[in-house]
């Protein structure tokens, strides 16, 4: 049971199982007292709420990084395209309106700091050490590698690296998140803490 979880959380658009959500909450609760949490790929804020509730309990902060234009698979004509999130006047995806509304409804405006930018742009002058990095951004290999290379250097020793959408079988999902997960495992920088559904969790040594 997660305290203060909004009743409408299940109805928020997103791709997160209940067990994955609970694991994110628990890991953030464990480490966020040591520094802020960074989420890469917030979409409409479902996972952000779980991270935010944990960080509120430890008086910490979630930096929610997303350009809010959707990943490759969310674009017009793609399999995961959601027409409700498509701005027809601009001809682009726009998830930021829903994100802001969901974070505000959850009472997390003082805990969640939106960073509306691409990963590489946001990281360019970043200097804050992080207690947890949750990678759930673009699923192209280039996007996943950028997220990993930009943000892992900012993760504190003992901090948590969580990577979403891990699938051994290419028929079940894209392989880029799995590739950076294997990269982290092979780096010698992390201890594997196992996998919850498609969420891989590692601890920085």
Residue 170 confidence (pLDDT): 72
pLDDT of residue 75: 54
According to CATH, what is the number of the domain 16-204? 3.40.50.150
Residue ranges of the domains in the chain?
16-204
Per-10-residue mean pLDDT of the chain, 205 residues long, equals 92 93 98 98 96 98 90 59 62 83 98 97 98 94 96 98 90 85 97 97 98
Catalytic residues: 139
CA dist., res. 167 & res. 103, Å (int): 29
pLDDT recorded at residue 1: 81
């Amino acid at each position: 049971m997660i305290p203060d979880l909004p009743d409408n959380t299940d109805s928020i658009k997103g791709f997160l199982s209940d067990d994955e959500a609970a694991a994110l909450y628990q890991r953030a609760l464990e480490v966020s007292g040591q520094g802020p949490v960074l989420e890469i790929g917030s979409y409409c804020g479902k996972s952000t709420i779980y991270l935010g509730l944990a960080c509120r309990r430890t008086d910490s902060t979630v930096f929610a990084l997303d350009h809010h234009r959707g990943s490759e698979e969310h674009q017009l004509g793609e399999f995961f395209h959601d027409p409700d999130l498509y701005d027809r006047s601009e001809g682009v995806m726009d998830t930021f309106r829903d994100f802001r509304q969901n974070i505000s409804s959850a009472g997390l405006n003082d805990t969640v700091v939106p960073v509306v930018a691409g990963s590489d742009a946001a990281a360019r002058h970043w200097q804050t050490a992080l207690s947890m990095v949750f990678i759930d951004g673009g699923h192209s290999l280039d996007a996943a590698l950028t997220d990993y290379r930009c943000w892992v250097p900012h993760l504190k020793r003992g901090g948590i690296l969580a990577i979403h959408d891990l699938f051994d079988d290419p028929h079940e999902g894209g392989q880029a998140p799995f590739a950076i997960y294997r990269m982290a495992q092979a780096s010698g920088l992390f201890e594997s803490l196992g996998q919850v559904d498609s969420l891989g969790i590692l601890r920085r040594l």
